[in-house]
Each structure stands twice: as structure tokens, then as C-alpha cells.
């Protein structure tokens, strides 16, 4: 049954025409609009390196400990909270982000996509689990928030996108039509949550990190990048 629903989901979304049926476009930030390579570099390389230096353990030991800790928190609000990780690890996580801000950038074609869609009669929303401090740094570098009619972060809402409470709060704020709303994200668990709430048009980005291979194992229809939605 799950496989049948997955096949149907892929068949009914045509990336080349989906914007024609869209009144509200919701976009994730990291891995959808911005290159996830930055975040992967920070959390998989720099944070373990800094933690190893602070604790006196090897980088491999730090990485093993941190990866296990990340997994235990995944999908929870604190997982996305810079304040939580700064306190837990004794590191200035925001400073680590700022120190390599030059690595922050759009995915290929994403800025062109935003420039194009922002001129259309579509309600454009940034819907992200990202912490407000992270959003601020990335907006300073890229100006990303300026393209959107409104920005919703999980910390402002009080729930992560994986939770139905997030979508209910978003519905209360926006009164969007689930049948005429397109949501694009690179995380399958988040797309499943949106689907459960009733959002009908869902797409995943198959290359959220330009330094990694294309992913093609989702039950959702995919595009390599947002620019592929433009005819």
C-alpha cells in the first residue's frame, strides 16, 4: 500500500507545470534554496574539530560522539537550536557559522528561480526548521529572506516541520489551500508530515548538497534544483 501511494504521488506531480496550479509556494531553506554543503561542513567537520580541541580527544572520537548525539536529537526542536548546542558542547556555534560565512551560497539556479517567482502572483513563503540566528547569518550573506512574503521558522512556531502542530499553526496563520499549495523540501520526513496534513503538491530536491551525489530514493517526485520548475 505504501509503495502504491508513493508511485501515485510521483505520477501526479509534473515539475514543469506544477507552478501553474499553485497559489502558495512554500520552500525549505537549507538543501532547497541554499547549498546544504555549508551546513554539512559546519556540523560534520568544524564542530567535531572544535570539540576535539576543547575536550582533548581525537577528531575521530569527537565525530563519533557528535554523530551519535545528532542522531539522538534528530527531528526535535533542540536539534535545530544553536543555543542548545552551544550550551551542550561548550562551543560558540554561531561564531563557528560566522567564521566560514563565505561558504554560504545558493544552490545552482535557486536565486534565478526566486527572482522569477517573486514577480508572479504566488504567495511565496520560506518555511524552515533553521534557528533564527542561522537564518540571520544566511540572510546577511545572501539576502534570501527578502524574496519571501513571509518567513516561518520552527522556533517561532514552537514546533518542527516534522510535527503536525507546525502545519496547523501555519494553516492558522496563512489559511492556505492545501490543494493549491506546493511545498518543496529535501527531507523526506518533513514531506511526509506535510502530506499527512493534506498538502497535495510535494516535491523533493535530489541534490541538496553540491558536493554530494544526487539522491533518488524518495517516494516523492524530485527535481535536482528549483530552477528545473521554470518552463
Do 221 and 150 lie in a common domain?
Answer: yes
The pLDDT of residue 12 = 67
Domain of residue 52 covers 38-102
Q: What is the pLDDT of residue 9?
A: 47
State how many domains the chain has.
Answer: 2
Last residue of a domain, one of 68, 87, 102: 102
Sign of the dihedral through C-alpha 23, 185, 191, 166:
negative
Residue 179's pLDDT is what? 95
Domain end call among 49, 69, 102: 102
pTM of the model: 0.93
pLDDT of the chain, 231 residues: tens digit per residue: 344 344 444 546 889 899 999 999 999 999 999 999 999 999 999 999 999 999 999 999 999 999 999 999 888 999 899 999 999 999 999 999 999 999 999 999 999 999 999 999 999 999 999 999 999 999 999 999 999 999 999 999 999 999 999 999 999 999 999 999 999 999 999 999 999 999 999 999 999 999 999 987 778 999 999 999 997
| The predicted structure's pLDDT at residue 75 | 84
Give yes or no: residues 221 and 169 share one domain.
Answer: yes
- Answer yes or no: do 30 and 42 share one domain: no
* Same-domain status, 122 and 94: no
We report the CATH number of the domain holding residue 208 as 3.40.50.1000
Are 121 and 203 in the same domain? yes
Q: Looking at the structure, do residues 97 and 71 belong to the same domain, yes or no? A: yes
Amino acid at each position: 500500500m505504501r509503495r502504491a501511494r508513493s508511485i501515485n504521488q510521483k505520477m501526479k506531480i509534473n515539475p514543469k507545470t506544477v507552478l501553474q496550479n499553485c497559489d502558495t509556494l512554500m520552500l525549505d531553506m537549507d538543501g532547497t534554496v541554499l547549498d546544504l554543503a555549508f551546513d554539512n561542513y559546519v556540523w560534520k567537520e568544524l564542530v567535531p574539530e572544535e570539540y576535539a580541541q576543547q575536550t582533548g580527544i581525537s577528531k575521530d572520537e569527537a565525530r563519533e560522539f557528535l554523530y551519535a548525539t545528532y542522531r539522538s536529537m534528530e527531528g526535535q526542536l533542540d536539534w535545530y537550536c544553536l543555543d542548545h548546542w552551544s550550551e551542550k558542547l561548550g562551543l560558540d556555534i554561531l561564531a563557528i557559522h560566522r567564521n566560514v560565512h563565505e561558504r554560504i551560497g545558493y544552490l545552482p539556479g535557486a536565486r534565478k528561480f526566486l527572482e522569477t517567482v517573486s514577480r508572479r502572483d504566488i504567495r511565496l513563503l520560506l518555511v524552515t526548521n533553521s534557528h533564527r540566528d542561522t537564518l540571520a547569518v544566511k540572510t546577511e550573506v545572501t539576502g534570501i529572506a527578502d524574496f519571501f512574503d513571509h518567513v516561518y521558522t520552527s522556533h517561532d512556531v514552537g514546533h518542527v516541520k516534522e510535527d503536525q502542530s507546525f502545519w496547523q499553526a501555519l494553516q492558522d496563520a496563512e489559511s492556505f489551500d492545501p490543494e493549491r499549495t506546493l511545498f518543496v523540501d529535501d527531507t523526506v520526513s518533513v514531506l511526509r508530515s506535510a502530506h499527512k496534513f493534506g498538502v497535495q503538491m510535494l516535491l523533493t530536491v535530489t541534490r541538496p548538497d553540491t558536493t554530494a551525489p544526487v539522491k533518488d530514493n524518495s517516494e516523492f517526485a524530485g527535481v535536482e534544483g528549483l530552477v528545473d520548475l521554470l518552463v
